[in-house]
Amino acid sequence: MSPETLVQTPLSVPLQFTTADFDRYVMSTYARFPITLERGEGCRVWDSEGREYLDFVAGIATCTLGHAHPVMVEAVHQQIQTLHHVSNLYYNQPQGELAQWLVEHSCADRVFFCNSGAEANEGAIKLARKYAHTVLGISDPVIITAHASFHGRTLATITATGQPKYQKNFDPLMPGFYYVPYNDIAAIEQAVALLDSSERQVCAILLEALQGEGGVRPGDQAYFQRIREICDEKGILLICDEVQVGMGRTGRYWGYENLGIEPDIFTSAKGLGGGIPIGAMLCKSFCDVFQPGDHASTFGGNPFACGVALAVCRTLEQQNLLENVQARGEQLREGLRSIAANYPHLISDVRGWGLINGLVLNAEIELTSSAVVQSAIEAGVLLVPAGPKVVRFVPPLIVSAEEVDQTLRAVEQALATVS
């Protein structure tokens, strides 16, 4: 059969595949909302019943350019026809060009590519541990992380994650982590002093610039600047998890730019590929201690993923989307504050940066974020919880003022229903 014939052959016969069929074959690792999404365009998606929704989830801060963006469609089309995968035993141009863009638009000097945020954080953990052994001379290195953090679902990254609910029944966890309260300067200073006086020594501090899964909690600038000082004084590494807040999500390319510091290592994924799976671990040259054979990824940095990610990066820059993120983020927060004023018994706070924002529900009431999200679905907007008491808003970075206003009206309608 010729390639031309293959292209014209249907990939599958349409079936009435129900949610019951889905649940029969797919593991129950998600508590799914009862809608089946079939297609998307821009900031909108449609379900199997033909109903339209504004998508303020964006694959959980992943669809940077929304759905079916012409730039991504063209990049996919061009790269899949040219070269989609080769081993990292060879050079490929899209990987090199993407690494160059990332380095030129950040504080990093080197990039390692993988497939996800968890893998990127695994790479950062491994790099920090090798640096500890080979440069710092630490035999029992410890990485400090924060309570309420989220760093991934692999065994090492759920151990790094400071939330027991993600660790339950996965013992024994990986050794080498120590947890502190987020945004608490005294706690971080005490932890470093305590560990330095023991046989376990700190090699790195791993933090999110803004805690996403932990309730959309922005980092405090003074806190991060003091941590940067501690790292410089002690010769230890500062690692920023930028998986959710990087790639323009906060109104700057990287979340750490909101804090007036530079990390030694940081990680990216989610929005980097605009929905195509890709992750990256970036570092400064002084801590680039990996040698051939130390770390690898079969699919990491393949031409297809890198070609699409490069198109996303260039569009973010060329269309000045950071300006839109800042304007629409401020519009969204102002609107949510107005809604909060109308529902003081339900809402206690509105917080966030750029286009990652949280509507914080009153801790004293029984209303949960999942209940609000379900009500918002019925009002025509997709939102996502960030813990039991925070409703998260993470739309595509191309969202318009009209779409923000439409979402605010739907949120008010949803709150009126649940109240």
CA dist., res. 178 & res. 155, Å (int): 15
Of the residues 113, 241, 264, 304, only one is catalytic, namely 241
Per the rule left: phi > 0, alpha: psi between -120 and 50, beta: everything else, 366 is alpha
Q: How far is CA 55 from CA 87, 149, 356, 381, 403, in A?
A: 36, 25, 13, 6, 10
Amino acid residing at 340: A
Residue 225: count of CB within 10 angstroms of its CB: 14
Q: What is the DSSP string of 389-409?
A: TEEEE---TT--HHHHHHHHH
CA dist., res. 225 & res. 216, Å (int): 20
242 appears as a binding residue in the annotation: yes
pLDDT given for residue 412 in this prediction: 97
297 appears as a binding residue in the annotation: yes
pLDDT given for residue 111 in this prediction: 98
Along the 419 residues of the chain, how does pLDDT read in single tens digits?
A: 444 444 444 455 455 789 999 999 999 999 999 999 999 999 999 999 999 999 999 999 999 999 999 999 999 999 999 999 999 999 999 999 999 999 999 999 999 999 999 999 999 999 999 999 999 999 999 999 999 999 999 999 999 999 999 999 999 999 999 999 999 999 999 999 999 888 889 999 999 999 999 999 999 999 999 999 999 999 999 999 999 999 999 999 999 999 999 999 999 999 999 999 999 999 999 999 999 999 999 999 999 999 999 999 999 999 999 999 999 999 999 999 999 999 999 999 999 999 999 999 999 999 999 999 999 999 999 999 999 999 999 999 999 999 999 999 999 999 999 98
264 appears as a binding residue in the annotation: no
Amino acid residing at 109: D
298 appears as a binding residue in the annotation: yes
pLDDT given for residue 17 in this prediction: 83
**Nearest alpha carbon to residue 43 among 359, 412, 330, 321:** 321
The enclosing H or E element of 316 equals: helix 303-318
Q: Are 294 and 267 in contact (CB under 8 A)?
A: no
Specify the pTM.
0.94
Report residue 23 as tokens. 């649940």
Q: How far is CA 196 from CA 75, 130, 192, 268, in A?
A: 50, 18, 6, 30
CA dist., res. 358 & res. 393, Å (int): 6
Q: Would residue 224 show up in a list of annotated catalytic residues for this protein?
A: no
Give the strand pairing for 356-361 and 390-393: antiparallel
Report residue 398 as tokens. 């191309």
Backbone angles phi, psi at 39, to 5 degrees: -155, 165
Q: Would residue 284 show up in a list of annotated catalytic residues for this protein?
A: no
CA dist., res. 205 & res. 227, Å (int): 8
CA dist., res. 68 & res. 110, Å (int): 31
Alpha helices, DSSP H, located in 145-184: 155-160, 164-167
Of the residues 112, 113, 270, 389, only one is catalytic, namely 270
CA dist., res. 54 & res. 406, Å (int): 8
Domains of the chain: 3-62+320-418 (3.90.1150.10), 72-318 (3.40.640.10)
Q: Where are the beta strands (DSSP E) in 310-376?
A: 347-353, 356-361
Of the residues 56, 112, 150, 224, only one is catalytic, namely 150
Q: Give just the sign of the alpha carbon dihedral 227, 229, 234, 235.
A: positive
pLDDT given for residue 200 in this prediction: 87
Q: Would residue 270 show up in a list of annotated catalytic residues for this protein?
A: yes
